[in-house]
């Protein structure tokens, strides 16, 4: 189970969003193929937060082999430098993820720098036509899934409960 019992993430945009597109490049979960591609020993450090340590340990146990060693390191803030990072981030309700993935932003956690992704994020945030924005964000998702500046594992289910409401809705928000 690569989604750890949560809603598997195909893109950085939550499947409940009006801008979500499932028509993106996906990658089969094939741990055997991963192990075949690595032909010389590699040691990687997986930095993670205390609350995600159990998930990090599962990832470590699935990847550890004679050629792959994963060392987990618990951090309380995002390190400036890392090999692998397992963390959470909050996805805004609006699909504008400029702050998360644009190459000029200090909050670009994956440190990706892609001109096409930058342009799509710039265009998406200034366009007021929702149909055009959807087209832009669909293209962003396609490009992101091909360039992979980061790998989003799942969208956790978060239950928002408010007083004075007759109906309760389960709203999935956030990503991992």
- Is residue 53 in some structural domain? yes
pLDDT recorded at residue 48: 96
Residue 133, C-beta contacts closer than 8 angstroms, at least 6 positions apart: 19, 95, 124, 127
Cα separation, 157 vs 160, in Å, equals: 10
Q: Evaluate if pTM is beyond 0.85.
A: no
- Is residue 1 in some structural domain? no
Residue 62, C-beta contacts closer than 8 angstroms, at least 6 positions apart: 31
Torsion 86-89-91-97 (CA) sign = negative
172: enclosing H helix or E strand: strand 170-172
Domain total of the chain: 1
- Is residue 73 in some structural domain? yes
Joined together, the tokens standing for residue 87 give 């963390």
Q: Tell me, what CATH number does 116's domain have?
A: 3.10.105.10
Locate the DSSP E strands across 10-160: 42-48, 68-74, 84-86, 154-155, 157-159
Range of the domain at 130: 7-172
- Is residue 123 in some structural domain? yes
170: enclosing H helix or E strand: strand 170-172
- Is residue 45 in some structural domain? yes
Q: Return left, alpha or beta for 157; rule: phi > 0 is left, psi -120 to 50 is alpha, else beta.
A: beta
Q: 3-class SS at 59?
A: helix
Half-sphere exposure of 38 (CA within 13 A, CB side): 15
- Is residue 88 in some structural domain? yes
pLDDT recorded at residue 92: 74
Q: How confident is the model at residue 147 (pLDDT cuts 50, 70, 90)?
A: very high
pLDDT in tens, 28-87: 878 788 778 888 999 999 999 999 999 999 999 988 888 889 999 999 998 888 999 998
- Is residue 54 in some structural domain? yes
- Is residue 2 in some structural domain? no
């Amino acid at each position: 189970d690569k989604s750890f019992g949560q809603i598997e993430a195909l893109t950085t945009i939550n499947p409940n969003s009006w801008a979500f597109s499932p028509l993106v490049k996906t990658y089969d979960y094939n741990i055997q193929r991963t192990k075949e591609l690595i032909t010389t020993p590699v040691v990687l450090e997986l930095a993670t937060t205390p609350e995600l340590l159990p998930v990090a340990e599962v990832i470590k146990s699935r990847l550890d082999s004679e050629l792959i060693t994963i060392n987990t390191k618990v951090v309380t803030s995002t390190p400036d430098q890392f090999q692998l990072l397992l963390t959470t981030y909050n996805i805004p309700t609006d699909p504008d993820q400029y702050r998360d993935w644009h190459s000029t932003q200090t909050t670009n956690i994956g440190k990706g720098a892609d001109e096409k992704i930058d342009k799509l994020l710039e265009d998406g945030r200034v366009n007021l036509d929702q149909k055009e924005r959807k087209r832009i964000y669909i293209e962003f998702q396609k490009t992101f899934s091909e360039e992979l500046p980061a790998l989003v594992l799942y969208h956790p289910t978060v239950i928002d409960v408010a007083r004075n409401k007759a109906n309760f809705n389960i709203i999935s928000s956030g990503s991992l």
